[in-house]
Amino acid sequence: MKKASGLLLPLLLYLLAACAPPPPLTAQSVLGKFNVEGLKIAYIHSEERDPASPLPNSFSERLAFSIPEIAPKGGQVFICDTKKNCDALYAYFDLLKGLAGPYLYQSPNGKVVVQLNSGLSPQTAARFEDVVKSLP
């Protein structure tokens, strides 16, 4: 009987761990996923929000980065607390496609928005899009 209970505890711990929700995404973890997929990014930095900017202040986190293919330009990752908050960002950049570029992606759960510079090749942009689509 002792041996059976010795096997039961690890099994229960495994099952509990499998049921635990994944940790929330951060801008840094999204950038880490880009690197894991072989997408080179550099000069990761926080962007100060210009109070005069019309950019919706609906995000909780924002990191900008450069992409060697178009350096010093690149893109930015926004993390929002709710899908509705990120929808506002997505709509803002969508209206500015002529200036901001056509490469705008939102994660399936809607809480991540990635905006990439228009100078990026469509092939590289598609690779970034694949990573964003694979997010929770």
CA distance to 63, 74, 78, per residue, from 46 (Å) = 5, 13, 11
Check residue 6 and give its pLDDT: 57
CATH code of the region 23-133: 3.30.200
pLDDT greater than 80 at residue 7: no
Q: In this predicted model, what pLDDT tens digit does every residue of 100-126 receive, in sequence order?
A: 778 999 999 999 999 999 899 999 999
Q: In this predicted model, what pLDDT tens digit does every residue of 23-68 receive, in sequence order?
A: 788 999 999 999 999 999 999 999 888 888 899 999 999 999 999 9
Q: pLDDT confidence of 14, banded at 50, 70, 90?
A: low
Give the pair of three-digit tokens for residue 58. Answer: 């609906």
Each domain of the chain, given as residue ranges in start order, spans: 23-133
pLDDT greater than 60 at residue 18: no
Check residue 15 and give its pLDDT: 54
